Amino acid sequence: MTGAATSMTPKVYGWCPGALRPMMSGDGLVVRIRAPLGRLSVEQAQAVAELSERYGNGILDVSARANLQLRGVTVDQHPALITALQDLGLVDNDAAIEARRNVLVAPFWSAGDETHILTQRLNSGLLQATDLTLPGKFGFAVDTGPAPVLRDTAADIRIERNGNGFVLVADGAETSQSVTLDSAADEALILARWFLAQGGAPNGHGRMRPLIARRGPPPAHGAPLAAPAPQQHLIQTATGRLIGLEFGQITATDFATLASYGPLRLTPWRMLLVETTDNIVPLPSLILDATDPRLQVSACTGAPGCLQALSSTRALARDLAPYVPPGSKLHVSGCTKGCAHPGASPLTLTATAPDTYHLIQGGTAADQPAQKNLSADQLRTSPDILTKGC
């Protein structure tokens, strides 16, 4: 589907918030932590929870790229927060380094394994690549478990496993480049420079997928891609237990309590992986039941927490969750940017005014609607509206 769903055009910043370069939202600054390897030790996690209470509003988000966001930080408290996060080893000393170190790692790695080694080498290469000026949203993924688990997560350059070897994938391409454990990180940086040389970032903005759609991947990319792994569920894994978060959000109090079970790993699935085999006591912020209907919905912060949002989102998503057909997904977006789910979703509600939404079936938040200007009351009273005509 194509075509704008509404004439209301939200502001597109072209970059994501970091820790050193936070973004102002409706509830204060959003300070995003790119934790090394996506993991926080027990001490780090509990300290971050305390900092969230001291300098923010006590609410933490896990983003779609497995970063941790502190919300509600005031401008005058930001410097003290950054100093504390740097003391914990969670924030770089330079904003340019922080921007380049945009690496998503599949959370099921073990210390010293190939995913761990490749991530460290890629981070080291990005640290040294002072000439590499990539767009603010440009990111990498290291996804070298038995089968790719991050294929549905936004990343411009991916390192994946293919059989017994490794491949480098330009996002949007149907083929890849064969690489080795020793060459993968260097080749990823070469591919990033190719992206820039091919005009992938005019005026400093752009992503790999549109470039590949225009001109295809480099000639060396002729190897096949491996089939992705199934969708992740709330299960006990060899690494730890996957725990769901309603809309990817958790209170600082619950975050600290959860960390008492073991180190926490951040995932892009609105889940945390807790390095434990213990049974976890239910907490208000957690989803422990794999049949919980809230796992079938996604929603951005919405109004008033987001300055771009035209309406609230999460209360409606929560109310409609039980009516989403099994195996389907509902995305409720406060504007056409669709931050909580940038890709197409079976069902999307895009806010066009307070408590008013367009319904898009099989598209993104910005696509042509099947129905326009549905009120929140209509949707709550007649939730079958969602699937009529599907």
Report the relative pairing of strands 264-266 and 271-274 from DSSP bridges.
antiparallel
Give the Cα separation of 273 and 197 in Å (integer): 38
Place 10 in a pLDDT band, splitting at 50, 70 and 90: low
The pTM of the full predicted model, rounded to 2 decimals, is: 0.91
Structure-block tokens of residue 146: 């038995």
Average pLDDT score, the chain: 93
**Element containing residue 79 per DSSP (H, E):** helix 78-87
Report the relative pairing of strands 241-245 and 249-251 from DSSP bridges.
unpaired
Nearest Cα to Cα of residue 360 among 331, 383, 321: 331
Structure-block tokens of residue 389: 């005509």
Predicted local confidence at residue 6, as pLDDT: 41
The CATH number corresponding to 109-215 among 3.30.470.10, 3.30.413.10, 1.10.490.10, 2.60.40.1220 equals 3.30.413.10
**Helix H segments across 93-183?**
95-100, 114-128
Structure-block tokens of residue 350: 């895009």
Residues 285 and 250: beta-carbon distance below 8 Å: yes
Residues 386 and 371: beta-carbon distance below 8 Å: no
Nearest Cα to Cα of residue 358 among 2, 11, 6: 6
Give the Cα separation of 351 and 336 in Å (integer): 8
Superfamily for domain range 23-94+237-287: Sulfite Reductase Hemoprotein;Domain 2 (3.90.480.10)
Residue 181 scores a pLDDT above 90? yes
Give the Cα separation of 66 and 87 in Å (integer): 21
Q: How many Cβ atoms are within 10 Å of 252's Cβ, its own excluded?
A: 23
Residue 229 scores a pLDDT above 60? yes
CATH number of the domain located at residue range(s) 294-387 in this protein:
3.30.413.10
- pLDDT tens-digit readout, 199-226: 999 989 999 999 999 999 999 999 999 9
Helix-then-strand count for the chain, H and E? 9, 20
Q: Where are the beta strands (DSSP E) in 5-135?
A: 23-25, 28-33, 39-40, 59-62, 68-73, 103-105
- pLDDT tens-digit readout, 281-324: 999 889 999 999 999 999 999 999 898 999 999 999 999 999 99
- pLDDT tens-digit readout, 139-157: 999 999 999 999 989 999 9
Nearest Cα to Cα of residue 231 among 294, 147, 288, 315: 147
Question: Domains of the chain: which residue ranges?
Answer: 23-94+237-287, 109-215, 294-387
Burial class (CB in 10 A: 0-12, 13-18, 19+), 7: exposed
- Calculate Rg over the CA atoms of the chain: 20
- pLDDT tens-digit readout, 100-138: 999 999 999 999 999 999 999 999 999 999 999 999 899
**Overall average pLDDT of the 60-68 stretch:** 94
Same fold, 109-215 and 294-387: yes
